[in-house]
Structure 1
Amino acid sequence: MAEIEQLFCGKDLGPGAAGAALTQLGTSLETFGGKSLGFLAGDEPDNLPLFGPFCARVFMENACAALLGRIDPFRVMYLHEFQSQEEYDLAKRAKTAFAWTGDVISPGQLLQEMWSVDHDIAKVSRSLLSQHMDVLVWRPAIESVLDFMATTGNPISHYGFDDVDPQNFIHGLRPRISALYSILSKGVHWEFFSTSLMMDDPTIKNSIRETFAFMLKVGIISHFIPTAYCSMDRQLALETYVTLREKIA
């Protein structure tokens, strides 16, 4: 199942804090991503409602952290070094911990004017799915992915990218991936006070499948970002994406 690790963390990781952090994330991705795929395949059906949402949410968060680490390594380098300090206390909430709002989704409202001279640096978000990351990183990479897929002899639909528009993909992904995060979180914390709201097996499996579908797309796109750390060969990345996509069909 090394495909999961390589698609999100990259290949041939080097020494240093970035490589160490991504190696750790890769181990988690293999464990929880592999477990999630197992649930989709029908493994351990009794454990699906207990652990399915948890495994899928860990996979989602770790995949996002790994992608951010390859695009903007400082964040995971800092976290690796911070957690390596003797005084790091597991019992205390660190204000600089990796967080969904802030590291994946930008806090606050979307900017009406992205390039205003009046913006201070705090307005220029480096979150994984921020407006600026979308324009500077994701859109050019998506165009490269589509161009590359067009040379393979297969239709774009073969890769599930027929509905992917470089200008709107990340904008549309933000609300849906946040909704999936919320759904999975309810399964993790078991936030149910009415039996009518409890998640049944099909709901959990659909959430896992949709989470993987979105994250696999972002994963393959990341290997077409020229500045991303330790990207795979593009053909190998595409083959890895196809292999994993078949597991959620």
Structure 2
Amino acid sequence: MERNSLAHLICGDYTQHKSIENLYKVLFHNISNMETRLGRVIINGEPGDLTVLGPYYARNLIETTCSALLGRIDPFRLIYVQKVQSVEGFNIGSKAKGAISWSGDIFEKNETNASNLWHPDREFNKVGRAFFGNHYSEIFWNPAFKSLIDDTNYLSETSLEYFRTHIESPDKFTMFLRQKSSTLYSSLSKGIHSELVIKPEIVYDDTTVIELVNDTFQICSILGIVSHYIDFSICRLPIDNAFQYYNDLFEWRENNYE
């Protein structure tokens, strides 16, 4: 069974923007593909499939999720990559310097101190614009998370209880997600690269991989629903529609990953 709740939640209604429609069709397909494959490998996979394929699918999912959400806040960033990759003679065997990178576009290489974000002497080309950076945190993510948890229509949502209880205040939202995402990405990467010189199943048994997959969907889902509270992000869904996808993912996790 094909699953696409996360794809809908992350990519939103991209058909309203013709300049990015084809780009987001690709991202939607990629997220839906990984979402479906993870469900299959957990529920119907052959012995050993989960520990081999689970980390790869999950890391692909969180990377694509962050790229798609970054593009909904800063469309130029993804359009630029699309244009570069569309140039005749583009070499798929070498990474373009302008490609989306985990260290740089998602996490800032040189994080600006949160208490000194708006220094008048800082040149704009030195202002951090990373997905989990402090500038995006203050302008986009933290205010949007506050709007979410203050929304009177969803005060009793069980699916939000974890974040209400684990994040002490809205201004800590991005820091909380940044820490969880960094740890998760590192854990998933060790299951993909040949870093381990011990048997992988010693570290990556089925229970551990299921926890990592569960964490991946949890992080991607909360980022997705919060993104629809950023009032000028593109491709926004009506909140009630976004919550249908978010809660579908929550129920799916509860039924299959606990």
Give TM-score, length-normalised by structure 1. Answer: 0.92
- Range 99-108 or range 31-40, more displaced: 31-40
1:44-193 to 2 correspondence within 5 Å? 44-111=46-113, 112-148=115-151, 150-152=152-154, 155-160=156-161, 161-163=163-165, 164=167, 165-193=169-197
Contact 1:143–1:166, Cα closer than 8 Å, also in 2: yes
CA distance in 1: counterparts of 2:164 and 2:42, whole angstroms: 24
Of 209, 213, 225, which aligns to 2:230? 225
CA deviation after TM superposition for structure 1 residue 118, in Å: 2.2
Q: Tell me what 2:36 maps to.
A: 34
Contact 2:10–2:65, Cα closer than 8 Å, also in 1: yes
CA distance in 2: counterparts of 1:210 and 1:231, whole angstroms: 24
Structure 1 residues not aligned, in runs of 5+: none
- Range 17-26 or range 175-184, more displaced: 17-26
- Range 100-109 or range 33-42, more displaced: 33-42
RMSD of aligned Cα (Å) = 1.8
CA distance in 2: counterparts of 1:127 and 1:100, whole angstroms: 9
Of 190, 202, 207, which aligns to 2:207? 202
User: After the TM superposition, which parts of structure 1 deviate over 4 Å for at least 4 consecutive aligned residues?
Assistant: none
Contact 1:20–1:80, Cα closer than 8 Å, also in 2: no
CA distance in 2: counterparts of 1:73 and 1:89, whole angstroms: 23
Identity of aligned residues (%): 30
- Range 36-45 or range 213-222, more displaced: 36-45
Residues 106 and 74 from structure 1, CA distance in 2 versus in 1: closer, same or farther, beyond 3 angstroms? same
Structure 2 residues not aligned, in runs of 5+: none
Q: Which amino acid aligns with 1:63?
A: T
Deviations 1:161-193 (A, max 9, x none): 323431001012112201111111111113211
